[in-house]
Structure 1
């Protein structure tokens, strides 16, 4: 009993409560987006998401019992396991909607690219933590890029541009915290921007269409630009208080594609309005604030880098997904953490939150 009391005292309650509330909100809107189909295919959506949540909780609970330093010790084996899984995806992975991103095990399909995000954070925390006194070295920075370039290349081949960009955002934030010189960071940014025209030639036709439609929404209003137009209509029509749960016309009349995955925030905006969407953002803000607080309350460089990598991943997902739904960024297929439908994303987010809690509980303070 005493051990439980100590654990409850150390646990970050605000982080846990915000995480659970966001999942429940996501589950309710997932049901709202699919309830007409739920009459026949209940297990495919709400129940399946709930099952993944239970799996994520179990894994998070197991990882919470292991000191986060142990994750650092196994970072390179995890890294090579991730590379192997990404290779298997390209060889035998399931193809859904033209993308080869899933491996099927025991009737459940999961995305190794989601697993890659958390593994990249762990391996970068290990490498940058050990080389923090050599961050002025071009060799150190170059090897950091090599670490993410291999999984990035394999993920781009699936193709999954959103996840590949996420890995770069994680590296950028972790390099910044590890003490890289600003001029080096600026040079990296410049190289990245100058490489964009080259990247264009490697994009799939549908990815090019999304970018062109972002620049000119009227270019293909019934094709590549259809989803974003319907998304903006949904968000705008919600106004202050929304149309009510299960009452959004863009939602229930099937005008909005992918409304249970990448565009679920559009349904939130339509059905509960600006106030409801603001409440969702407030819960995300609490998670981010607590994550940053955990990062800077530990004197352990590995714990700090892990926390910063996780927080940057969550921030990037939130920013890109919401910007995508309101037309401020092109559509790149990034889910909204804890809310969008998707087992792999949900499990990895719960594992990421578990690592933050782990750092809070086990962080050395001296």
Structure 2
């Protein structure tokens, strides 16, 4: 992969506020259509499955309650997508410190009374203008940008202890705040994002093995520190236990396996009628539309539906890798690979936990699970990749 030095220039002219955010339609010829298609298709597939897995189970609420909330966030995400495609990504480069420290402030805000919200024992949400948001989702995106900027400034000389320590400190500020919420799942996501970016930058394998050992020791320390909640420990113990599917803590996993297994090759042919409850084969996965949405997909659409999902993810990730390889901007390439690392880990972890290959965590299935903050930040991140792909060549006037 070849690179050229980033000169700090920008193609955006200072022609007033509106013109600054006006998309140059000549750039659309270079937009990666397959990446945009896979992004939209995944969100729509998620919306369909959120509706199918919640209709008839919303009590006194509308059967469209959950899907309408997700659709509203998708509308906001499309507006954000436009802005993050219209603005030259090199301009965004200049505002990385603001993005990074802004995410840190939001992580601190979860502890402010009447702003921070506690959900399932974790204080990881804030309420703004009547809407709940998860700052850790924004911190994930900020870590990608900050790490890419640091690596670019270091000329990817990552096998230097000083440079590794510098990146570790910058990453641990938001990750530490995420850990004390506590949100172990998101902390794991951030760890593997940084690890993936360091690997692409050329991190020595001996350092990787040393880091793996340090991680193992850190987990032991965290286990006895009180930062891991009892229900989180129970999930891990349940995963490692041979009778996990029969235990109380393995109930969710057991129901997930029953549902996916009953889906067969083509699923249970779900009804679109809002008055008909989801046609599960005797399963009941709590809050299936969030972390366990893959269980609903497996049951409702069978193996065929799961393969469609994986195909769309494959297109999305392969196009991001292609853009990373084509761009001659080191910072841009590292941002692409940071997002690839996120998708690979989140998909593997989320699907793995529904089929008993990974311990259960609160990691959502990107672009599919219900969750406004996750959807918004992921769409923004993919929009930035589209931006990079469109501007891999200079415009000739």
> Relative to 1, partners in 2 of residues 1:207 and 1:39: Cα closer, same or farther, differing over 3 Å?
closer
Picking from 280, 285, 289, the partner of 2:318 is 289
Alignment of 1:1-366 (within 5 A): 6-38=26-58, 40-42=60-62, 44-92=65-113, 93-202=116-225, 203-216=228-241, 218-219=243-244, 221-246=246-271, 251=280, 255-364=284-393
CA separation in 2, counterparts of 1:229 and 1:72? 46
What CA distance in whole angstroms lies between the structure 2 residues aligned with 1:63 and 1:8?
14
> Closer, same or farther in 2 for the Cα pair 1:270/1:336, shift >3 Å?
same
1:115 deviates by 0.3
Q: Secondary structure at the match of 1:327?
A: coil
Structure index of larger Rg? 2
The worse-fitting range, judged by mean Cα deviation, of 343-352 and 96-105 is 96-105
SS at match of 1:91: coil
Name stretches of at least 5 consecutive residues in structure 2 with no aligned partner.
1-22
CA distance in 1, matches of 2:25, 2:173: 44
Aligned residues, how many?
Answer: 363
Task: Report the 3-state secondary structure (helix = DSSP H, G, I; strand = E; otherwise coil) of the residue aligned with 1:94.
Answer: strand
Q: Which moved more, 1:243-252 or 1:225-234?
A: 243-252
Distance in 2 separating the partners of 1:220 and 1:237? 16
Q: TM-score, normalised by structure 2?
A: 0.87
- Whole-angstrom CA distance in 2 between matches of 1:252 and 1:348: 34
TM-score, normalised with respect to structure 1: 0.94
Q: 1:133 to 1:173 in 2, by over 3 A?
A: closer
Deviations 1:54-89 (A, max 9, x none): 001101111111111222211122211111110111
RMSD between aligned residues:
2.0
Instruction: Give the CA deviation at 1:179.
Output: 2.3
C-alpha displacement of 1:182 = 2.4
**In 2 relative to 1, CA 149–284 (structure 1 residues): closer, same or farther, beyond 3 Å?**
same
Query: Following the alignment from structure 2 to structure 1, what is the Cα–Cα distance between the partners of residues 142 and 28?
Result: 28
Partner secondary structure for residue 104 of structure 1: strand
> Secondary structure of 2:326's partner?
coil
Checking the alignment, whether the CA contact within 8 Å between 2:43 and 2:367 is kept in structure 1 is yes
SS of aligned partner of 2:29 = helix
Identify, as 1 or 2, the structure richer in helix: 1
Residues 206-238 of structure 1: CA deviation (Å, up to 9, x unaligned): 111000000115258352110001001111111
